[in-house]
Amino acid sequence: MCYEIDDKFHDECGVFGIYMQQPENDTEAARTVFYGLYALQHRGQESAGIAVSNGEKIQLHKGMGLVTQVVRSEHIDNLKGSIAIGHVRYSTTGDSSLVNAQPLVFHYLNGMVALVHNGDLMNAARLRKRLATYGSVFQTTTDTEVIANLLARYSQDSMEDALAKCMIDIKGAYALLIMNEDCLVGVRDPLGMRPLCLGSLNGSYVLASESSALDTVGARFIRDIEPGEIIVIDKNGLRSLQVKKTTRTAHCIFEYIYFARPDSTIDGINVYQARREMGRQLARESHIDADMVIAIPDSGTVPPWDTRRNRACPLRKA
């Protein structure tokens, strides 16, 4: 199977995950991910989903539409556990359909795994064909499922070793969150094209596409995940593996001019300040006798609620 290439502009997805050491209740992880996804809604509006692990199995809820349309109070009540990941999607590879919505949850040799992905794999079609030749079965048209099948292929190894092998195989831009029954893992591509940051919340660890999502749930920003780094969070705490080191990075400029919220900071650069400086530089270089330079449209806007004023979007009931 080959992927069709079009000339339409595509947004990117948003990922959010949390490992709670001592949750106040068994739905707190899912509820926190809901609000994290709501803060990342600007990154994708096609579908949304949350997967939660209770230490024995992974439960999933996803659907087409906005976070507030897909996830309601009664769904949160059924998503019990202390580890959770979530995703908002705008398709870059694959059709806009429920089967392609994330998280993807699958069974493999070592149990259950849930996976969310922001980015695009340059060699997805070639890897998909190679895996299918050796017996892999695909149910979606996304490149995310290619990563899932690679993980299953290396299932004889530990999670981090399997992911390290996957990073050798896959080429392109990606920020991944992977969860099994008892750990949460974050991965960033070797060039750092897709953002991923780490935060802390009352002794728990949070991973998110943007720092603004950490602010929304009240988490403290710790740092950005380094390009080529794997972060593993489990009952023993947090550990880091620098799998691939490159001599250069290649940040996606559209993160600063289009994808990200103005109140986010990515790799030490505030998005709002970056946009202002780009406008100043444009004015210097254009040599046009203009009165002002303005941004049209102002994308990645802050949601219509302000956590600093203790106002939040409530979980909707059916």
Active site residues: 13
Rg of the chain over Cα atoms, rounded to whole angstroms, equals: 19
d(CA 51, CA 29): 10
Describe the strand order of the beta sheet including 204-208 as a list of residue ranges.
Answer: 58-64, 47-53, 83-89, 14-19, 204-208, 197-201, 220-224
Contacting residues for 287 by C-beta, under 8 A, at least 6 apart: none
CA 125 to each of CA 119, 145, 153: distance values in angstroms, whole numbers, following the listed order = 15, 11, 17
d(CA 147, CA 251): 22
d(CA 119, CA 129): 20
In the 8-state DSSP scheme, what is residue 227? Answer: T
Whether residue 55 contacts residue 240, with contact meaning beta carbons closer than 8 Å, is answered with no
Give helix 159-169 / helix 144-153 axis angle, nearest 10°: 120
Q: Which of 296, 291, 306 has its CA nearest to residue 275?
A: 296
d(CA 210, CA 198): 9
Q: Which of 80, 8, 70 has its CA nearest to residue 45?
A: 70
Residues in the chain: 318
Contacting residues for 245 by C-beta, under 8 A, at least 6 apart: 190, 228
Contacting residues for 67 by C-beta, under 8 A, at least 6 apart: 34, 37, 38, 41, 48, 88
